[in-house]
């Protein structure tokens, strides 16, 4: 467990649905912080089964690279409805962050350097093509926000940063959630350099 990353998460099923088709995972040890969002295609139990399979696989394989995690999920999810998947993996001893996304997972960041992770189209477990990840330096004060397509991308991250990460996630969810889709937003704040 490290205390270099403060994180917040809000995840809700679509309106009138009790089972969430989105799933998320946080992995946090001395030198690695991992944030994952999986959005199972469709809604309800079948979507939940796919997204849970993805995050469970990742939880069991934290040491793998981001690209290998996605290829691993692609095998595990065969026979499910498939999922969109976003992974943020921070190396806190080297102050680097590696990011990859497949399908409708979005990112916003406040960063000292460039941060423009391109997601690739496709569905993990169904029609995955070649996966690439993007690496960036990580600096104190950087914030990465990752969210499923149940959150409208029509917001400015900077308007939600004068608060704890959990409050940021809850405000973004409350104000930008689409009620007709499962929604997940994760806010990761780097708060220390050593």
Distance CA 156, CA 109 (A): 10
Is 22 in contact with 150 (CB distance < 8 Å)?
yes
Measured from the CB atom, the residue of 98 and 149 that comes closer to Mn ion is 149
Smallest gap from residue 52 Cβ to Mn ion (A):
15
Listed residue (65, 60, 73) closest to 27, CA to CA? 60
Which span (31-39, 49-57, 69-77, 164-172) binds Mn ion, by CB under 5 A? 31-39
Residue 39 within binding range of Mn ion, rule CB under 5 A: yes
Smallest gap from residue 135 Cβ to Mn ion (A):
27
Residue 13 within binding range of Mn ion, rule CB under 5 A: no
**Helix or strand or coil: residue 98?**
strand
Q: Which of 149, 160, 165, 187 binds Mn ion (CB under 5 A)?
A: 149
Distance CA 182, CA 146 (A): 14
DSSP string, 24-74: EEEEE-SSEEEEEEEEESSSHHHHHHHHHHHHHHHHTTTTS-HHHHHHHHH
Residue 177 within binding range of Mn ion, rule CB under 5 A: no
Residue 170 within binding range of Mn ion, rule CB under 5 A: no
Smallest gap from residue 104 Cβ to Mn ion (A):
6
User: Based on the number of CB atoms within 10 Å of its own CB, is 144 exposed (0-12), middle (13-18) or buried (19 or more)?
Assistant: buried
Residue 181 within binding range of Mn ion, rule CB under 5 A: yes
Point out which residues bind Mn ion (CB under 5 A).
39, 149-150, 181
């Amino acid at each position: 467990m490290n205390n270099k990353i403060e994180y917040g998460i809000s995840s809700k099923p679509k309106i009138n649905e009790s089972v969430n088709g989105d799933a998320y995972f946080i992995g946090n040890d001395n030198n690695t912080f991992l944030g994952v969002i999986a959005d199972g295609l469709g809604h309800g139990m079948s979507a939940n089964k796919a997204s849970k399979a993805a995050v469970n696989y990742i939880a069991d394989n934290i040491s793998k690279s981001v690209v290998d995690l996605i290829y691993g999920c692609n095998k595990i999810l065969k026979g499910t409805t498939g999922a969109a998947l976003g992974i943020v993996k921070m190396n806190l001893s080297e102050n680097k962050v590696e990011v990859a996304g497949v399908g409708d997972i979005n990112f916003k960041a406040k960063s000292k350097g460039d941060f423009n992770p391109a997601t690739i189209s496709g569905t993990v477990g169904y029609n995955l093509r070649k996966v690439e990840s993007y690496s960036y330096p990580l600096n104190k004060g950087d914030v990465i926000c990752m969210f499923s397509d149940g959150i409208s991308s029509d917001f400015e991250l900077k308007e939600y940063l004068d608060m704890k990460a959990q409050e940021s996630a809850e405000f973004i969810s409350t104000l930008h959630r689409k009620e007709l889709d499962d929604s997940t937003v994760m806010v990761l704040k780097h708060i220390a350099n050593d």
